[in-house]
């Protein structure tokens, strides 16, 4: 039985959200499959039977009966608080459930299912509900936004990096607060032209990096070092898990090794962490540091073997390759560059 919690308001300029889903059904299927099959955006804290199985039989029957009759968010919290579910007391709230209620008509929701990204549009008919039907409870998907129209977008190469990285960590549901992600969602969902109101280089550079994934940035840095310094990647080193560098490069002319460290977003880097790496009497090594929005702390360290690749330098290098029709830039990155630069002032 389904009950409406509240009606969504129409949003003139909407918000873009990221919904993280997981597996919590008896069949082992994810909430994402339930969402796609039922045209909803859903999350847990569903008061499912597994959540109350350790209560005494009388309490279980009471909770199940009250669960059927939830008609609004206050009644939902009454049940949760009365029986101490999820560690919630009278002062605490379930952040994800409350945030679901902040989604408005006209918003967009990104969701991932088995590595494929889907974009959902919150339609005019959408409502926020608590659904106590058997399937919703089985999937732990009772808190829902209904009438969400989902479109299959594709794998990670088909979505902006700002979207892909939003799935790395964070709450079950959260906003994607990067510029032009709403306009991009309209472009991806409705095939509307992507119109950029600003066209200065600083803005275009930031938007370019917002569209890149962490692996895109790693590829660009390695290709930049090949083009500018003659370094080639030692393929097997891509599999080495280390916090200090992404892979090992070698200059085939002189045998020198290079260790690139690449971070996308406002991630700081520190010279001090790389002193021991380049302090090698047996073989000459150097380090290249890149962070797209962060700061590299040099402190008092002096070393001619530790270098910084500035975001502007890398962006201008990409721009020069694009303008010369050079084929060094990977196709996926070319797509983002062309999309952004063909849209300015359009």
pLDDT tens for the chain, residues 1 to 346:
444 455 565 555 789 999 998 866 667 788 999 999 999 999 999 999 999 999 999 999 999 999 999 988 889 999 999 999 998 877 788 999 999 999 999 999 999 999 999 999 999 999 999 999 999 999 999 999 999 999 999 999 899 999 999 998 888 999 999 888 999 999 999 988 887 776 788 889 999 999 999 999 999 999 999 999 999 999 999 877 678 999 999 999 999 999 999 999 899 999 999 999 998 878 889 999 999 999 999 877 778 899 999 999 999 999 999 999 788 999 999 999 998 888 755 4
Q: Other C-beta atoms within 10 Å of 283: how many?
A: 8
Q: Which residues pair with 149 in a beta bridge?
A: 121
Q: What is the enclosing helix (H) or strand (E) of 314?
A: helix 311-323
Tell which residue, 137, 159, 150, has the closest CA to residue 39.
150
CA distance 326 to 209: 20
Tell which residue, 264, 289, 284, has the closest CA to residue 274.
289
**pTM listed for this prediction:** 0.82
Q: Which residues contact 178 (CB under 8 A, 6 or more apart)?
A: 160, 162, 210
pLDDT in tens, 73-119: 889 999 999 999 998 877 788 999 999 999 999 999 999 999 999 99
Going by their DSSP bridges, the two strands 173-175 and 16-19 should be labelled as antiparallel
């Amino acid at each position: 039985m389904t009950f409406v919690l509240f009606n969504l308001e129409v949003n003139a300029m909407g918000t873009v959200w990221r919904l993280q889903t997981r597996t919590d059904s008896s069949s082992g299927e994810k909430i994402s499959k339930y969402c796609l099959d039922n045209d909803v955006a859903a999350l847990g804290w569903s008061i499912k039977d597994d959540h109350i199985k350790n209560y005494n039989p009388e309490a279980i029957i009471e909770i199940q009966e009250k669960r059927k009759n939830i008609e609004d968010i206050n009644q939902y919290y009454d049940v949760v608080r009365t029986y101490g579910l999820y560690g919630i007391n009278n002062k605490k709230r379930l952040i994800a459930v409350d945030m679901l209620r902040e989604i408005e008509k006209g918003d967009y929701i990104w969701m991932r299912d088995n590595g494929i990204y889907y974009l959902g549009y919150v339609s005019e008919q959408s409502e926020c509900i608590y659904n106590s039907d058997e399937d919703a409870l089985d999937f732990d998907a009772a808190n829902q936004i209904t009438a969400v129209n989902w479109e299959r977008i594709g794998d990670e190469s088909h979505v902006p990096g700002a979207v892909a990285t939003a799935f790395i960590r964070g709450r079950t549901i959260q906003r994607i607060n990067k510029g032009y992600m709403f306009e991009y969602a309209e472009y991806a969902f409705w095939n509307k032209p992507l119109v950029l109101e600003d066209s200065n280089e600083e803005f275009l550079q930031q938007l370019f990096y917002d569209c890149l994934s962490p692996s895109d940035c790693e590829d660009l840095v390695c290709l930049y070092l090949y083009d500018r310094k003659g370094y080639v990647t030692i393929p097997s080193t891509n599999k080495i898990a280390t916090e200090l560098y992404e892979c090992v490069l070698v200059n085939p002319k002189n045998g020198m090794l290079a260790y690139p460290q690449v971070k996308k977003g406002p991630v700081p880097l520190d010279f001090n962490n790389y002193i021991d790496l380049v302090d090698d009497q047996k073989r000459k090594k150097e380090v290249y540091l890149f962070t797209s929005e962060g700061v590299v702390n040099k402190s008092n360290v002096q070393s001619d073997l530790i270098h910084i690749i500035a975001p502007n330098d890398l962006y201008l290098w990409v721009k020069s390759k694009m303008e010369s029709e050079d084929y060094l830039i990977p196709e996926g990155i070319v797509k983002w560059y062309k999309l952004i630069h063909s849209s300015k002032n359009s």
